[in-house]
A and B are shown apart, each in its own frame.
Chain A
Amino acid sequence: QVTLKESGPTLVKPTQTLTLTCTFSGFSLSTTGVAVGWIRQPPGKALECLGVIYWDDDKRYSPSLKSRLTITKDTSKNQVVLTMTNMVPLDTATYYCAHSPPSGFDYYFDSWGQGTLVTVSS
């Protein structure tokens, strides 16, 4: 059974750096074809994929946020870490991590964490 859970601060100040950790079980991020994505959702708005890290340590970031994002993995700890710099109030959102199974060239998220609401405010 695949499970994921996000952890990190619920409140950050403008200009600060956000660090979120996704701790997962039921799969290995060293298995060929597996990926973990970070997706966020501002209150009442649509989903936005921030980035994805793949089993081979390749990473893909949203072009609009690429300069502010870093995603890393620790395979031995079954964790993926998202770092986002220079936070602003518009970054207030629920942040999800999600699992993408091996599926050829198609990547979709079949298991999601519960999400964590991050508020950016002074």
Chain B
Amino acid sequence: DIQMTQSPSSLSASIGDRVTIVCRASQSIDTSLNWYQQTAGKAPKLLIYGASSLQSGVPSRFSGSGSGTDFTLTISSLQPEDFATYYCQQSYSIITFGQGTRLDIK
């Protein structure tokens, strides 16, 4: 399996802050990296696919970058609805997810 490691596991931030979440793959996965947002009791929501493509309907404050083994999800200016848990997912081989990053309000 390709292991996906996210950092940090949790972070606290304020409305308007710029936040970056890192996802590292145990081997190169080119740009086969996707990001999801999950709020409590809800199914995950796709934010970014192919490492940097914004899913339709997702606000432009979300962006993704990276290739190979290192990837980032950036939220440029946090809004109240962004406090959630974020997961990365690779599809280079058998699909695996990261362990999640919980983002809560400071």
Chain A: residues with CB nearer than 8 A to chain B? 37, 39, 46-49, 52, 60-64, 96, 98, 103, 105-110, 112-115
Contact = CB atoms under 8 A, between A and B. Distances in A.
Helix, strand, loop or mixed for chain A's interface?
loop
B99 A46 contact: yes
A112 B44 contact: yes
Contacts of A62: 1, 94
- Chain B contact residues (Cβ within 8 angstroms of A): what range? 20 to 34
Contacts, number: 63
Contact of B43 (A63, A106, A115): A115
22 contacts: A46-B87, A46-B97, A46-B99, A46-B100, A47-B38, A47-B89, A48-B97, A49-B97, A52-B95, A62-B94, A96-B43, A103-B49, A106-B32, A106-B50, A108-B46, A108-B49, A109-B36, A110-B46, A110-B49, A110-B55, A112-B43, A112-B45
Interface of B: 1, 31-32, 34, 36, 38, 43-46, 49-50, 55, 87, 89, 91, 94-100
Contacts of A110: 46, 49, 55
B52 to A, nearest CB: 12
B93 to A, nearest CB: 9
Contacts of B55: 110
Given A46-B99, A108-B46, A60 B89 contact: no
B30 to A, nearest CB: 9
A108 B91 contact: yes
Given A47-B100, A106-B34, A110-B49, 5 more contacts: A37-B95, A46-B97, A46-B99, A106-B32, A108-B91
